């Protein structure tokens, strides 16, 4: 479309600022919603299924390629914010909050978290493996280029499938736990004071941000370590595909493992595994791409453990706030957590560029030995340090051990029984 990368980056920052308001607003809307025959969360998924699909399709508009630049920039800002900050927020906040209402059993909530990640992993495989085969074509010189019309068609197909899947989610989900309505309760500023004074909430926010920074640094640098250091661009797709497959394998037993040792404990073990693998990778400084992929997969195992339990951990935090403060606000807590993750993702997107600038990477120096060594060292050492910080945050800040989670669950069950 000819829009500069600087303007795209500006859009991403503006969207995150808008998200700060729309995420929390939607959280309040959900918390204050009245119950219907289908519950209080699921109806919002059906209401926004169509709008989010239309908005996602409108983003990809090659038919405007010849329009004035001012119009194209306007269209980019309008459609992206309409999609991400309005329509997607409208479906994602209720979807994420609904897990609390589907079951009050810790092991079943962990199953919901696991299956959420399975769905995301399957979608990621489709995007990484299938879509490039459809959306890329070759120009007259034989170079692979992204085709705007094919991308628009692919976006249309994905948008239509999204509506179908959202409706499947709506009709096959059952809200079994009656949660109190926030109507007439504390306003959003009072809720902020409550949740940000909760140690468990601070702990999960810090841990999630460290996880995102670690994960996105590791995956972002893959685009440089494989084609430049190892001279194997195909290894990018291979490592990504193997990592997705690994997550699917982990999902088959992580629920039982978390039930046995606890979610916090499992996430901490995962962080230690990730740190150990990458420190080994840093020390051996291998030139064998197969060896590096093996190290990468061990590290990704550590990421997988946290990613598969993190959505159940936020429900544990919501329970902890209810026990300590007597306030239940699933939508608001989840929306603030969701926004914090978006901020972490936005910040992490810039880390790869900072790393490359620090090691002296330019088009002219892309294959200099010192630059290649810098790429390798940064890809292993920095995420290793991130894993260490993640383990420390889980141990010393996040307080919800298995014992504490079970105690909170019992207290809430007793309270609901009495009411």
19-54 tens-digit pLDDT: 878 988 898 888 888 889 999 999 999 999 999 999
Average pLDDT, the chain: 89
pLDDT number for residue 278: 97
∠ CA(349), CA(352), CA(354), 5° rounding? 105
Q: Once rounded to an integer, what is the mean pLDDT over residues 118-138?
A: 82
pLDDT number for residue 349: 65
Q: Once rounded to an integer, what is the mean pLDDT over residues 108-131?
A: 85
Q: Once rounded to an integer, what is the mean pLDDT over residues 379-391?
A: 96
- Provide CB contacts within 8 A for 313, sequence distance 6+: 113, 204, 263, 264, 267, 398, 400
Instruction: Write out pLDDT tens, residues 272-314.
Output: 999 999 999 999 999 999 999 999 999 999 999 998 998 889 9
pLDDT number for residue 31: 85
pLDDT number for residue 182: 59
- Provide CB contacts within 8 A for 6, sequence distance 6+: none
β-strands 136-138, 144-146 pairing: antiparallel
187 — pLDDT class (breaks 50, 70, 90) = low
Return the higher-pLDDT residue of 265 and 331. Answer: 265
Q: Is the pLDDT of residue 185 over 70?
A: no
| Second CATH level (architecture) for the domain 5-176+186-418 | Up-down Bundle (1.20)
Q: Once rounded to an integer, what is the mean pLDDT over residues 103-125?
A: 87
N- to C-terminal Cα distance for the chain?
A: 59
Q: Is the pLDDT of residue 251 over 70?
A: yes
Rounded CA-CA distance 324/137 in Å is 57
Q: Once rounded to an integer, what is the mean pLDDT over residues 218-233?
A: 86
Are the C-beta atoms of residues 242 and 249 closer than 8 Å to each other? no
pLDDT number for residue 181: 61
Instruction: Write out pLDDT tens, residues 345-362.
Output: 777 767 887 888 889 988
What 8-state DSSP symbol labels residue 254?
H
pLDDT number for residue 186: 61
Return the higher-pLDDT residue of 419 and 256. Answer: 256
Instruction: Report DSSP letters for 2-49, one per residue.
Output: ---HHHHHHHHHHHHHHHHHHHHHHHHHHHTPPPBTTBSSHHHHHHHH
pLDDT number for residue 68: 95
pLDDT number for residue 144: 67
Q: How far is CA 20 from CA 47, 50, 341, 348, in A?
A: 22, 23, 11, 17
Q: Is the pLDDT of residue 173 over 70?
A: yes
Instruction: Write out pLDDT tens, residues 201-221.
Output: 999 999 999 998 898 888 888
């Amino acid at each position: 479309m000819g829009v500069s990368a600087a303007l795209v980056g500006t859009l991403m920052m503006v969207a995150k600022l808008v998200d700060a308001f729309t995420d929390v607003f939607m959280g309040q809307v959900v918390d204050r919603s009245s119950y219907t025959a289908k519950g209080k969360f699921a109806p919002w998924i059906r209401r926004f299924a169509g709008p989010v699909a239309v908005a996602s399709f409108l983003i990809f508009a090659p038919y405007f390629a010849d329009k004035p630049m001012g119009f194209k920039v306007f269209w980019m800002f309008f459609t992206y914010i309409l999609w991400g900050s309005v329509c997607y927020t409208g479906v994602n906040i209720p979807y994420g909050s609904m897990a609390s209402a589907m079951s009050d059993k810790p092991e079943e909530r962990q199953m919901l978290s696991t299956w959420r990640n399975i769905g995301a992993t399957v979608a990621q495989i489709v995007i990484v493996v299938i879509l490039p085969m459809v959306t890329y074509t070759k120009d007259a010189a034989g170079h692979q280029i992204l085709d705007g019309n094919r991308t628009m068609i692919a976006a249309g197909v994905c948008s239509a499938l999204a509506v179908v899947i959202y409706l499947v989610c709506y009709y096959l989900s059952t809200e079994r736990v009656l949660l109190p309505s926030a109507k007439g309760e504390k306003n959003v500023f009072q809720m902020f004071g409550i949740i940000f004074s909760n140690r468990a909430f601070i702990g999960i926010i810090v841990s999630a941000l460290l996880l995102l920074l670690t994960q996105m640094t590791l995956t972002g640098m893959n685009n440089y370590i494989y084609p430049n250091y190892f001279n194997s661009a195909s290894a990018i797709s291979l490592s990504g595909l193997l990592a997705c497959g690994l997550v699917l394998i982990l999902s088959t037993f992580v629920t039982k493992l978390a039930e046995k040792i606890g979610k916090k404990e499992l996430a901490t073990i995962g962080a230690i595994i990730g740190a150990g693998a990458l420190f080994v990778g840093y020390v051996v400084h291998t030139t064998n791409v197969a060896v590096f992929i093996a190290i990468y997969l061990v590290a990704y195992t550590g990421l997988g453990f946290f990613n598969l339990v993190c959505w159940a951990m936020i429900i544990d935090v919501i329970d902890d706030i209810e026990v300590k403060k007597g306030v239940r606000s699933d939508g608001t807590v989840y929306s603030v957590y969701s926004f914090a993750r978006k901020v972490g993702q936005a910040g992490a997107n810039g880390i790869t560029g900072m790393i490359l600038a620090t090691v002296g990477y330019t088009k002219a120096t892309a294959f200099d030995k010192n630059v290649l060594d810098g790429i390798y060292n940064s890809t292993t050492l920095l995420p290793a340090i991130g894993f260490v910080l993640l383990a420390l945050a889980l141990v010393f800040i996040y307080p919800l051990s298995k014992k504490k989670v079970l105690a909170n669950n019992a207290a809430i069950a007793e309270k609901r029984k009495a009411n």
